Amino acid sequence: MQIEDINWKKLSREERGELIYKSMKIVKTPRGWRVPSQSLSGGSYLVRFSSHEPRCNCPDCEIAKQKCKHIYAVEFYIKQEIDQEGKVKTTKGVKISYSQKWNAYDKSQTNEKIYFMQLLSELCNFVEQPEYKFGRPKVPLYNLIFSSVMRTYTTFSLRRFMSDVKIAKEMGLVDSVPCFASVGHFLQRQDITPILKNLIKLSASALKSVETDFAVDSSGFSTCRFARYYDYKYGKEKKYRIWLKAHLLSGVKTNIVAGVEVTEGQAHDSPQLASLLKGVSERFDIKEVSCDRAYSSRANLQLIRDEGAIPFIPFKTNVTGKRAKYEIWKKMYHYFMYKHEEFLQHYHKRSNAETVFHMIKTKFRDNVRSKDKTAQVNELLCKVLAHNICVVIQEINELGIKGEFTIEKEVDF
């Protein structure tokens, strides 16, 4: 039967999707899958997967909120790709198995808060209480970190989230309920920053058995701070909002964050890679690191190599093979030129780093509420830590791993 002879109206969306997959060319791009439109000549729709939900920008999906034929078509396309390879190639940041895994996802969503409190409390056990030397006894560090991360998780105001801490106390997860003001002041402490960073790494190490490929990306979070500058053109003072930028190294399979740096919004991406990669190879068996152009430099390629991983960074357009004198640089350039398709498949993993930010921002907001500069950095780290715990919870259900955090000697709080 010719494709033109088929009465499309009689078919279900799934059947239409299968026909599109069989008769048209679906193109994989770093942003998603381009599915040709049947009505618009030469037009196409973009299908993307954000966390667990497939999205398409066609009217059926956007207006009718239906799982459209294009999404079905992409599913057929991906499934076929997996079968041909003989192994699950969902690595490109896409969990196409979302329909089968839906139960696990539901389970982790509905029980998430209880799991979250338990995992967070267990994680906080690793925080050592510094000896207090004088004055009245302070609220234990443990309780304050628990409360700060719990508050980020609930996205409640300081006062409203206190009832959650009371519940945690009843569950025996914390031994006292700190006053909401002390939680607010707590995040202003500079010594909290390295503790939070360590807790993020520690929580990530729970997934060391499943993550080998990593992606690097950065994204901004708005603050309530403003900076002033003098506008010479108009001869008056103006102000602009200060942004914080989070740089993340995340595992492409689960979106777990293995390394984090927080800088001012204007900071360049490239210099952050060294600190992001630092120590990660001790915890993970890194095979690949993919980054975008902003991170492309010879030093960075070498850094990734030093960790025993293969770097996947697209080349800046002004770089030619002739000018590249360095060994890896040259190799990567030729790899990029001659194995373009293969490279793009690897590079595609980076789009997963974008879903990490998407996950963090939709769940825990894209702004920080603290007024103090240090508190803003710590608040952002709390978001990342809360994200990691949620990822671990989901993976406990999906992959059947144990939610135990490995204690390693090099973790030095």
Reading the block at residue 267, the tokens are 């900071």
CA distance 3 to 103: 36
Task: Point out which span in 48-56, 108-116, 174-182, 279-287 binds Zn ion (CB under 5 A).
Answer: 48-56
Judged by CB under 5 A, does residue 73 bind Zn ion? no
CA distance 291 to 218: 10
- Of 16, 34, 67, 70, the residue at the interface with Zn ion (CB under 5 A) is 70
Task: Point out which span in 58-66, 82-90, 264-272, 334-342 binds Zn ion (CB under 5 A).
Answer: 58-66
Amino acid 66 reads Q
Q: How far is the CB of 347 from Zn ion (least distance, A)?
A: 25
Q: How far is the CB of 9 from Zn ion (least distance, A)?
A: 17
Nearer to Zn ion, 56 or 389 (CB): 56
Nearer to Zn ion, 61 or 391 (CB): 61
Q: Which of residues 108-137 bind Zn ion (CB under 5 A)?
A: none
Judged by CB under 5 A, does residue 68 bind Zn ion? yes
Q: How far is the CB of 48 from Zn ion (least distance, A)?
A: 11
Give CA separation, 174 vs 102, 125, 150, in Å. Answer: 33, 10, 12
- Of 19, 56, 177, 381, the residue at the interface with Zn ion (CB under 5 A) is 56
Residue from 348, 361, 387 nearest 255 by CA = 387
Q: How far is the CB of 43 from Zn ion (least distance, A)?
A: 12
Give the burial string for 317-348 (b: 16+ CB within 10 Å, else e). Answer: eeeeeeebeeebbeebbebbeeeeeebbbbbb
Q: Which of residues 10-39 bind Zn ion (CB under 5 A)?
A: none
Residue from 73, 32, 40 nearest 59 by CA = 40
Q: How far is the CB of 6 from Zn ion (least distance, A)?
A: 18
Judged by CB under 5 A, does residue 58 bind Zn ion? yes
Residue from 119, 198, 108, 197 nearest 389 by CA = 119
User: How many of the chain's residues bind Zn ion (CB under 5 A)?
Assistant: 6
Task: Point out which span in 63-71, 184-192, 269-277, 375-383 binds Zn ion (CB under 5 A).
Answer: 63-71
Amino acid 69 reads K
**Cβ-contact 260, 277 below 8 angstroms:** no
Nearer to Zn ion, 70 or 387 (CB): 70
Task: Point out which span in 57-65, 109-117, 155-163, 229-237 binds Zn ion (CB under 5 A).
Answer: 57-65
Nearer to Zn ion, 56 or 256 (CB): 56
Q: How far is the CB of 387 from Zn ion (least distance, A)?
A: 29
- Please enumerate in sequence order all residues whose Cβ is within 8 A of that of 16, keeping only pairs 6 or more positions apart, or say none: 8, 69, 72
Q: How far is the CB of 112 from Zn ion (least distance, A)?
A: 30
**Cβ-contact 51, 358 below 8 angstroms:** yes
CA distance 3 to 16: 11
- Of 19, 61, 207, 385, the residue at the interface with Zn ion (CB under 5 A) is 61
- Please enumerate in sequence order all residues whose Cβ is within 8 A of that of 377, keeping only pairs 6 or more positions apart, or say none: 193, 244, 262
Q: To which H or E segment does residue 262 belong?
A: strand 257-264
Nearer to Zn ion, 75 or 213 (CB): 75
DSSP state of 10: G
Q: Where are the alpha helices (DSSP H) in 56-101?
A: 59-62, 69-85
CA distance 82 to 352: 18
Nearer to Zn ion, 45 or 295 (CB): 45
Q: How far is the CB of 58 from Zn ion (least distance, A)?
A: 3
Judged by CB under 5 A, does residue 216 bind Zn ion? no
CA distance 361 to 142: 26
Task: Point out which span in 51-59, 154-162, 310-318, 400-408 binds Zn ion (CB under 5 A).
Answer: 51-59
Q: How far is the CB of 68 from Zn ion (least distance, A)?
A: 3
Nearer to Zn ion, 58 or 353 (CB): 58
Q: How far is the CB of 8 from Zn ion (least distance, A)?
A: 14
Binding site residues, Zn ion, CB under 5 A: 45, 56, 58, 61, 68, 70
